[in-house]
Amino acid sequence: MRRILVALKRVVDYSVRVHVRADASGVVTDGVKMSVNPFCEIALEEALRIRERGQADEVVIVSIGPDEVAQQLRTGLAMGADRAIRVAAPAGLEALTVARCLLALTARESPLLVLLGKQAIDSDNNQTGQMLAGLWNRPQATFASRLRLGDSAVTVDRETDQGIEVLELDLPAVVTADLRLNEPRYVKLPQLLKARKEPIETLDLAALGVEPGAQFERLGVSAPPARAAGIRVDSATALVRVLTERGLV
């Protein structure tokens, strides 16, 4: 079966203004609107379009985390995914552990393509797709803005600082989605209600042979300093003087 595996991450909704916890251990999530990471949503939309073109038979979505991630999986099912898998795990796993979970799932599901968002808007690490490709020993293309799937290869336009780079990857492969790849479809209420009744398969880390170890210790989280008030100058000469005093020219 031609299968596409798509990873979805639960994050604070992009429209919410985040606040740091009083103990500086992280950001406040209690009572905060949570959503599918926008780049993961773009990855899922691309997988659905590939299936709708008849180039794939099944789209499987996976999310790794506590019970609450089922909400985002149901959003993915409402968009049109065929199956959903939740890997039961603590929240906030490091990227390498997530990549190892996905590696175990590739062995289980044998996808022709794994699609992920290029990064999550909470941590902005931009690591998981690259780590998965390295562990899986398969080709990868990051920051994809266009994707053309063939019988044995996928051609990807990827955005770089120098322009668009075009890569052809043998399948199976890992691709991470950038903002301009597509515009995700709008999910209607009847689709969400139907998705509530869809089954979600649950696995645990032990079943996948993954240990939730940590490589890093978070020392603290703080809000960025308030931006200093600007000043107004009367002339270009005054502007140059101020910039010189501040060591900027």
Instruction: Note the pLDDT tens digit of each residue in 219-243.
Output: 888 888 888 888 888 899 999 998 8
First to last CA, the chain: 61
Q: Which of 39, 12, 77, 9 is nearest to 179 (CA)?
A: 39
Instruction: Note the pLDDT tens digit of each residue in 84-138.
Output: 999 999 888 899 999 999 999 999 999 999 999 999 998 888 999 999 999 999 9
Q: Residue 174 CB: number of other CB atoms within 10 A?
A: 28
In the chain, the percentage of residues whose pLDDT exceeds 70 is 100
Domain spanning 3-245, CATH architecture: 3-Layer(aba) Sandwich (3.40)
Residues 181, 146: contact at Cβ < 8 Å? yes
Q: Residue 142 CB: number of other CB atoms within 10 A?
A: 21
Global confidence as pTM: 0.87
Tokens of 144: 């994809």
pLDDT at 7: 97
